[in-house]
Amino acid sequence: MVVLGIESSCDETGVALVTYQGMETPRLLAHALHSQADMHRDYGGVVPELASRDHIRRLLPLLQQVLAQAQVALDRVDAIAFTRGPGLAGALLVGAACANALGAALQRPVIGVHHLEGHLMSPFLSNDPPHFPFVALLVSGGHTQLMRVDGVGRYELLGESVDDAAGEAFDKSAKVLGLGYPGGPALSALASGGRADAFALPRPLLHSGNLDFSFAGLKTAVWTQHRKLGACPTRQQLADLAASTQAAIVDVLVHKSLRALHDAGLQRLVVAGGVGANALLRSRLDAAAAQRRMRVHYPEPALCTDNGAMIALAAAMRLQRGLATPPQDYAFDVAPRWALETVSAAAPAP
Ligand code: KG4
Ligand code: ZN
């Protein structure tokens, strides 16, 4: 079976092809991605209308690119998957309309996938795929969640951010430091030349006794420290503040992830979403894993941020297990707000 995946929930247009036989772990045939980061940079964040229009421009050329790369003819595609939500409504609609038009033309099933289910499953395309059950740390621009995952569609929310997401904390702090968008990679690069203990920043809810997060206060603390540096902070001061900010975010993520594993009685952690690309987070979790009986699984670096491969993969894993029920009439909707834990083992009704 060959599954085409389309991701268009925010500022990345992703298209990919995966293949699988029986219950074998699906394999990636090809994927192509266009990031809109350059287009949105001038505005300091994603402009939804510009995002939608750009997805329209990019989708079909990217589709042709992956078909050529994989040397697969369009009529060999057996099923088409798209990101149904959560995300920007207009951007999601572009992927949904494209997927359903292709499905209707080819008479193939079309499957609406939950974006976070895609992130969650993405390590299955790595050289070191996890086994169920595991705890997932989902850390993206819009979400910070700890989830117990017992199988495809079997998700239990253990804790989440009560305000900003970890990615948002990176992005907003980066903005305070005068760095571009998206802020996570830029802040992390600046932090590499700084001292993580230079500024005392809060670790919100670190000892709250539950698995929730709160990052909104951090950006205010970063702003306050930045203001104290005066009008012309040195490069070293900025690097120190970046390193201290990154350490504060990562400390909380690591602490709560280890606690979630302990509480759930599990030894496997899957880290997914854009912040999962963060080198400090990875090294801290790897160091913890080396010290105790636990394994950490990550997606391949190229599949950490949004991409079509994870959408094709999640659909393929549902199809393998009989958990996808595509509508027969190619009627579709999108779900800009959609909680992962409401995605049942049976596919969601559109
Ligand atoms: O999963 P993703 O690509 O998109 C969403 O679904 O939101 O995550 C994007 C987020 C952004 O906030 C970005 O700043 C952050 O992931 N990010 C990073 C790194 N790379 C991306 N944060 C910290 N360190 C990184 N290396
Ligand atoms: Zn994402």
Mean pLDDT confidence for 273-280:
96
Residue 182 has pLDDT above 90, yes or no: no
Q: Is the pLDDT of residue 350 over 60?
A: no
Per the document, the length of the chain is 350
Residues 273, 299 contacting (CB under 8 angstroms): no
What is the pLDDT averaged over residues 101-106?
Answer: 98
Q: How confident is the model at residue 180 (pLDDT cuts 50, 70, 90)?
A: confident
- 17 pLDDT more than 90: yes
**pLDDT value of position 31:** 98
pLDDT at residue 348 above 60? no
Which ligand does the CA of 310 lie closest to? Answer: 2
For residue 277, the ligand 1 atom closest to its alpha carbon is 26
- Across 78-216, where does the E strand assignment appear? 79-85, 110-114, 134-139, 144-151, 154-160
Q: Mean per-residue pLDDT for 200-222? A: 95
Q: Is the pLDDT of residue 2 over 90?
A: yes
β strands within 115-267, DSSP E: 134-139, 144-151, 154-160
Q: Tens digits of per-residue pLDDT, 191-206?
A: 999 999 999 999 999 9
Asked whether residue 349 carries a pLDDT value surpassing 70, the answer given is: no
Atom of ligand 1 nearest to the CA of 183: 14
| Higher pLDDT, residue 158 or 328 | 158
* Per-residue pLDDT at 121 exceeds 50: yes
For residue 345, pLDDT over 80 is answered with no
User: What local confidence, expressed as pLDDT, does residue 289 receive?
Assistant: 97
**Ligand 1 within 6 A of 171 CB?**
yes
Kindly list the domain boundaries of the chain, sorted by start residue.
2-121+303-342, 131-298
**pLDDT at residue number 344:** 67
- Please give the helix or strand (H or E) that residue 50 lies within, else none: helix 48-70
Helix axes 216-228, 235-264, angle to 10 degrees: 160
Dig out the tokens for 155 from the structure. 């998700």
Residue 343 pLDDT = 87
> Shortest CA distance to 110 belongs to which of 334, 338, 336?
334
- Residue to mutate (ligand 1; options 275, 281, 310; most atoms within 8 A of CB): 275
Predicted local distance difference test score (pLDDT) of residue 346 = 54
Burial of 80 (0-12, 13-18, 19+ CB in 10 A): buried
Instruction: Report whether residue 204 contacts ligand 1, using a CB cutoff of 6 Å.
Output: no
Residue 347 per-residue DSSP state: P
Structure confidence at residue 347 (pLDDT): 47
Weakest mean pLDDT among 9-13, 179-183, 257-261: 179-183
Share of the chain above pLDDT 70, in %: 98
- pLDDT for res 225: 98
The Cα–Cα gap between 140 and 304 comes to 9
How many angstroms separate the alpha carbon of residue 274 from the centre of ligand 2? 6
The confidence score (pLDDT) of residue 155 equals: 96
Question: Could you say which ligand is closest to the alpha carbon of residue 139?
Answer: 1
Q: pTM above 0.85?
A: yes
Closest to 46 (Cα-Cα) out of 55, 36, 59, 32: 36
SS3 155: strand
Mean pLDDT of 207-225: 96
Atom index in ligand 1 nearest the CA of residue 306 equals 3
- Sorting pLDDT into bands at 50, 70 and 90, what band is 297? very high
C-beta of 167 in contact with ligand 1 (< 6 A) = yes
Q: Is 103 in the pocket of ligand 1 (CB under 6 A)?
A: no
Strands (E), the chain: 2-7, 12-19, 27-35, 79-85, 110-114, 134-139, 144-151, 154-160, 268-272, 295-297
Distance CA 137, CA 6 (A): 23
First vs last Cα of the chain: how many Å apart?
Answer: 24
Q: Which CATH superfamily is domain 131-298 in?
A: ATPase, nucleotide binding domain (3.30.420.40)
- pLDDT exceeds 50 at position 59: yes
Average pLDDT, the chain: 95
Q: Does residue 61 have a cis bond before it (omega within 30 degrees)?
A: no
- Protein residue with least CA distance to atom 13, ligand 1: 184
Q: Is 11 in the pocket of ligand 1 (CB under 6 A)?
A: no
Averaged pLDDT for residues 240-265: 98
Which of 305, 310, 311, 340 to mutate for ligand 1's pocket (most ligand atoms within 8 Å of CB)? 305
- The topology under which CATH files domain 2-121+303-342 is Nucleotidyltransferase; domain 5 (3.30.420)
Report d(CA 60, CA 91) in Å as an integer: 15
Is 118's C-beta closer than 6 angstroms to any atom of ligand 1?
no
Residue 25: per-residue pLDDT = 95
Same fold, 2-121+303-342 and 131-298: yes
Query: Rounded mean pLDDT of 328-350?
Result: 81
pLDDT-derived band at 248 (thresholds 50, 70, 90) equals: very high
Q: Is the CB of residue 167 less than 8 Å from the CB of residue 140?
A: yes
